Each structure stands twice: as structure tokens, then as C-alpha cells.
């Protein structure tokens, strides 16, 4: 379709709507960075103001995919009112559907994949000069990182992508088809990026990858595994805490377990998706481990780091999952005392091997299983929170509290938010906090030695009275 944008207004504002996982959140930041550096676009929170509207999409479940087309329908009206607006679709739906997105939504100007987002400035230029929609969903190795400007950072915590893609091909999952095969960034590139972030005041890095522990060195560093990468990152001056997500049980080596005993800077939290507690279902999912092997990793992790918090993902209602299979999952969840989980109802994804199996667990049974499992994990997570009351926790102060901006928020090593009264100068620092209360999703605490708020007010009143 040829329809040159009719407005000559310069492009100034960018709106990005992100669906899906942390990899997509990360990529959206990179889109904003490159369009700021190359096109001078400033990000806005209202699509009605924007000259460029991007959707960074997810196709992991049917519902996520449907949302994209609903939202696109809405921005179509914006474009009808202001024909100069450019609309782009990136991420996993774009990667999977390519050209056909333009067939279904002809007002879309740009379709780009997770590995081609750095080409956005060129795609925009070509769209404007040719008047034709641009589609580029190729997988050009890992050139993306060589073509991105330095991240614009806010706060003391930053994400660093260390590997992209997935080569595990679990039978239900779309990700290997949308993100391509696993590919690791070179060791030196990761270390240089972390060192630069540290120099700019970042104290915590979160190493990102779809299977982050599948990271491998290349060239001279071909022997390096993910545990070696953690060793190096923890040595960088200024970095005080290191997290990583998401790890896969199949590559959770003894060396990685040992890293949790050895590296004090490594956070006491691992997100380790199990998906099911039934060996029959795990085999049908092609996960590559048994329930016993999974339990053994968790047992060794807890031996290495007794306070470690383990969170997980589950899929319930996989084709053929019986009540007995599901009970195995409940039992595993109970035995592992998970500290949180995402429980998903199985959703058949076109083109995956499992989509050829009968999706035979009725929707109401799937939903009931999700609720039973989530309730169990919520209870074990609440017990962990309760057990933290009275303890002293090392936290990174992230900024004002979301609920009450007069208070501060911080993150514990085991990935919980703590709200507390404290001075703004503490933001960006690692401090100790005493936990006083456990709420549903957050903790409350006090800076040890500080007065409780009402006593502090009284003391201030006395001081003010004395001065009068
Ligand atoms: N690489 C990670 C997870 C990536 S996708 C891992 O393997 O552990 C995030 C989560 O989405 C998965 O852990 C799984 O629980 C869920 N998921 C993936 N495909 C799904 C599907 N077809 N239906 C329902 N949930 C799915
Ligand atoms: Fe999907 Fe499995 Fe890869 Fe995770 S490991 S992204 S679930 S194929
Ligand atoms: Fe979704 Fe793609 Fe992430 S399918 S979960 S955005 S890898």
C-alpha cells in the first residue's frame, strides 16, 4: 500500500506500549534510546500526543496476542485524525506474523523483530521516502548491541542483556520461533557495559536472557560459562548486587550453585521455572528434566545459600494433564515452598509441536487448577515474608514509595519491596533495614536507630518548642 504521510510536522514524540516479558521491557528501552539519539524523539505516556507509536508485542499466550490487535484498532482512529502518525509493530507477534500484520492492519507503517529494532531510524527514513510500509524481521546474529547508543539510566539498578533467543524448543512454546536460537554476547562487551553503568552510579545489575544460564563465552573466552561471567561481573568496582533472570533447570550447573555460596554480591533469589511436577507432563513438554532433578537443584541451592528465595513458573492444563498429574505439581510446589510464582493456563500456540495434541483439559478445569496452585504458592510466599519480621535486611533504596511518595522504597536481596520512612539522600544507596511488618505484596521496615515516625514528630515538636 502506498500512502505517504500527509503531515510535514517534524517528528517529536514517541509512545511505546510494551507487552510480555522483561526481554521486551528491555528492548523497549533500547528503542526509546536509539530513537532519542538518532531522531530526537522524546517518550510520552499518551499515544494521542505521539508522532510515532510503537507496540512491542508478545505471543506467548493467545490472550497476549489478541490484545495487540485490539490496541492497534484503537490507534487506527488516532491515525485517521492525524495521518502523519507512524505506527510500528515490533516484538514476538511481529516476528511471527511479519508482512501479514500489514495485511490485517494496513495502517501499520513498520514491522520489526526483536533483533532488528536498532534499524528503526533507517526503517522510518525509508517509510517516509518511499511511502511504503517497511518490514524487517530478520535475525542478523547479534549486531543489535553494536548499534545501540549507551543506555539512558534512571536510578541505581539496570538491566543488561547477556544472551538472546532460545534453543530449548519446549513443545508448547513459541519463543524459539520468535526470538531465534540462543546467542551470547561476548564476555568483554558485557563487562564493559556493566563497568560503564557502575561509573554512572548503578549499584545493581540484572543480567537478562531467555535462558540466561545458557550464556557461553566465545573466542578466547570459549571456556567461560555463566558462573564465570558472574564471577567477573561481581568483581566490577561499584557493583554491589547482581541478579539474573530467567534461568533454566537444564543448565543449572554445580558451578552456578557454588557461585551462590561464594559470591556475596549475588542476590539471594533465583527465578527457576519448573512448569509441572509430573514427570509424564514434563516429558511431553520436552523440558529435559524430571521433578526429582528439579528438587535436587533447589536442595543444593538452599545448602549453598540457606535464605535463598526461589520463584517459579507453571503451566497447568497441558494436553493430557490428569488430576493426578496436577496433584504432583501441587505436591512439588508445597515441598519447594516457593516464594512466588506465575501460574498460566496452557494456551496452544500455532506452529508448536504441542499444538498438534488435543487441548483436552476444559477451560474451567484449567482455571480452577491455576487458582488452587496460585493460592498454595501465595501461602508459602506469605510465610517467607512473615519469617522476615524482626530481621535486618540489606536493601538497595530505589526511590520514593509508589503508594506514599513521602516514604522510600527499597528492594531486599530476596527481591521484596520494603517501604520505610527515610531521607531522600538514601536513594541509590545500599543500607540495612529492620523489617517490622509483612503485607500482602510488600514489607514495612525502619532504619535501625531511627525513631518511629510519631516519636520522631514528637521529638521534632520538642526541639521546635525549645527553640521558641
Ligand atoms: N525461558 C523461560 C520462560 C519463558 S516464557 C523458561 O523456560 O523457563 C515465560 C513463561 O510463559 C514460561 O515459563 C511458561 O510458564 C509460560 N508459557 C510459555 N508458553 C506457554 C503456553 N503455550 N501456554 C501457557 N503458558 C506458556
Ligand atoms: Fe520457551 Fe522452553 Fe525456551 Fe523457555 S526454555 S523460552 S519455555 S522453549
Ligand atoms: Fe512474550 Fe516474546 Fe517474551 S513471546 S514472553 S515477549 S520472548
* 356-398 pLDDT, tens digit each: 999 999 999 999 999 999 999 999 999 999 999 999 999 999 9
The residues pairing with 443 across neighbouring beta strands, listed in sequence order, are 418, 438
Q: Among 18, 22, 23, 313, which residue has the most ligand 3 atoms within 8 Å of its CB, making it the best to mutate?
A: 23
Which of 175, 248, 315 most suits a substitution to test ligand 3, by most atoms within 8 Å of the C-beta? 175
Which residue, 185, 251, 252, 256, is CA-closest to 218? 185
Mean pLDDT of 264-273: 97
Beta strands in 66-128 (DSSP E): 86-90, 110-112
Q: How many CA atoms lie within 13 A of 346 on its CB side?
A: 29
Q: Whose alpha carbon is nearest atom 3 of ligand 3? A: 21
Which atom of ligand 3 is the closest one to the Cα of 179? 7
Q: How far is the CA of 92 from the centre of ligand 3 (A)?
A: 6
CB atoms within 10 A of CB 452: 11
Ligand 3 touching residue 95 (CB < 6 A) = no
How confident is residue 461, by pLDDT bands cut at 50, 70 and 90? very low
- For the chain, give the mean pLDDT: 91
- Spatial neighbors of 429 by CB under 8 A, at least 6 apart, are 156, 203, 396, 397
Q: Which ligand is nearest to the CA of 58?
A: 3
Exposure of 192 in the CB half-sphere (CA atoms within 13 A):
8
CB of 206 closer than 8 Å to CB of 411: no
pLDDT digits (tens, 9 = 90+) for 269-316: 999 999 999 999 999 999 999 999 999 999 999 999 999 999 999 999
Interval between CA 170 and ligand 2 midpoint (Å):
5
Burial class (CB in 10 A: 0-12, 13-18, 19+), 412: buried
**Contact in structure between 55 and 88 (CB atoms under 8 Å):** yes
pLDDT at 460 over 60: no
Regarding the beta carbon of 175 and ligand 2, being less than 6 Å apart is answered yes
State if residue 354 touches ligand 2 by the CB under 6 angstroms criterion. no
Residue 122 reports pLDDT greater than 80 = yes
Q: Is 433 in the pocket of ligand 1 (CB under 6 A)?
A: no
Ligand 3 touching residue 275 (CB < 6 A): no
Nearest to 147 by CA among 181, 113, 119: 119
pLDDT in tens, 124-175: 999 999 999 999 998 876 677 777 877 777 789 999 999 999 999 999 999 9
Atom of ligand 2 nearest to the CA of 286: 2
Ligand in closest contact with the CA of 341: 1
| 295 vs 292: CA distance, rounded Å | 5
CA-CA-CA-CA dihedral for 177, 212, 23, 368, to nearest 10: 80
Amino acid at each position: 500500500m502506498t500512502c505517504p504521510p500527509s503531515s510535514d510536522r517534524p517528528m517529536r514524540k514517541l509512545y511505546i506500549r510494551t507487552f510480555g516479558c522483561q526481554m521486551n521491557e528491555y528492548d523497549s528501552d533500547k528503542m526509546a534510546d536509539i530513537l532519542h539519539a538518532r531522531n530526537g524523539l522524546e517518550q510520552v505516556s499518551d499515544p494521542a500526543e505521539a508522532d510515532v507509536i510503537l507496540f512491542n508485542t508478545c505471543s506467548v499466550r493467545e490472550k497476549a496476542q489478541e490484545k495487540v490487535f485490539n490496541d492497534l484498532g484503537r490507534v487506527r482512529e488516532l491515525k485517521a485524525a492525524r495521518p502523519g502518525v507512524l505506527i510500528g509493530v515490533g516484538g514476538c507477534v511481529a516476528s511471527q506474523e511479519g508482512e501479514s500484520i500489514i495485511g490485517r492492519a494496513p495502517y501499520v507503517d513498520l514491522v520489526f523483530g526483536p533483533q532488528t529494532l536498532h534499524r528503526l531510524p533507517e526503517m522510518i527514513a525509508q517509510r517516509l521516502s518511499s511511502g511504503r510500509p517497511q518490514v524487517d524481521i530478520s535475525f542478523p546474529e547479534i549486531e543489535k548491541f553494536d548499534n545501540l547508543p549507551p543506555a539512558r539510566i534512571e536510578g541505581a539498578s539496570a538491566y543488561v542483556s547477556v544472551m538472546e533467543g532460545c534453543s530449548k524448543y519446549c513443545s508448547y512454546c513459541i519463543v524459539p520461533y520468535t526470538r531465534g536460537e540462543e546467542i551470547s554476547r561476548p564476555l568483554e562487551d558485557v563487562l564493559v557495559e556493566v563497568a560503564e553503568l557502575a561509573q554512572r552510579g548503578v549499584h545493581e545489575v540484572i543480567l537478562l536472557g531467555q535462558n540466561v544460564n545458557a550464556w557461553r563465552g566465545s573466542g578466547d573466552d570459549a571456556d567461560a560459562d555463566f558462573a564465570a561471567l558472574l564471577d567477573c561481573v561481581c568483581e566490577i568496582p561499584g557493583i554491589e548486587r547482581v541478579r539474573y533472570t530467567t534461568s533454566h533447570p537444564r543448565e543449572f550447573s554445580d558451578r552456578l550453585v557454588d557461585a551462590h555460596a561464594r559470591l556475596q554480591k549475588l542476590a539471594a533469589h533465583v527465578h527457576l521455572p519448573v512448569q509441572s511436577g509430573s514427570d509424564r507432563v514434563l516429558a511431553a513438554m520436552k523440558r529435559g528434566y524430571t521433578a526429582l532433578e528439579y528438587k535436587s537443584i533447589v536442595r543444593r541451592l538452599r545448602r549453598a545459600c540457606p535464605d535463598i528465595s526461589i520463584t517459579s513458573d507453571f503451566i497447568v492444563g497441558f494436553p493430557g494433564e490428569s488430576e493426578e498429574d496436577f496433584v504432583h505439581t501441587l505436591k512439588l510446589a508445597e515441598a519447594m515452598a516457593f516464594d512466588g510464582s506465575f501460574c498460566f493456563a496452557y494456551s496452544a500456540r500455532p506452529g508448536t509441536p504441542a499444538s498438534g495434541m488435543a487441548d483436552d483439559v476444559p477451560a474451567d478445569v484449567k482455571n480452577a487448577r491455576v487458582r488452587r496452585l496460585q493460592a498454595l504458592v501465595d501461602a508459602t510466599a506469605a510465610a517467607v515474608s512473615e519469617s522476615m519480621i524482626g530481621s535486618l535486611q540489606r536493601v538497595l533504596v530505589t526511590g520514593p514509595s509508589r503508594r506514599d511518595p513521602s516514604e522510600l522504597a527499597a528492594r531486599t536481596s530476596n527481591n521484596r519491596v520494603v517501604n520505610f520512612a527515610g531521607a531522600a539522600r538514601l536513594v541509590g544507596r545500599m543500607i540495612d533495614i529492620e523489617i517490622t511488618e509483612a503485607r500482602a505484596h510488600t514489607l514495612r521496615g525502619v532504619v535501625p536507630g531511627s525513631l518511629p515516625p510519631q516519636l520522631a514528630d514528637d521529638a521534632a515538636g520538642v526541639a521546635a518548642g525549645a527553640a521558641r
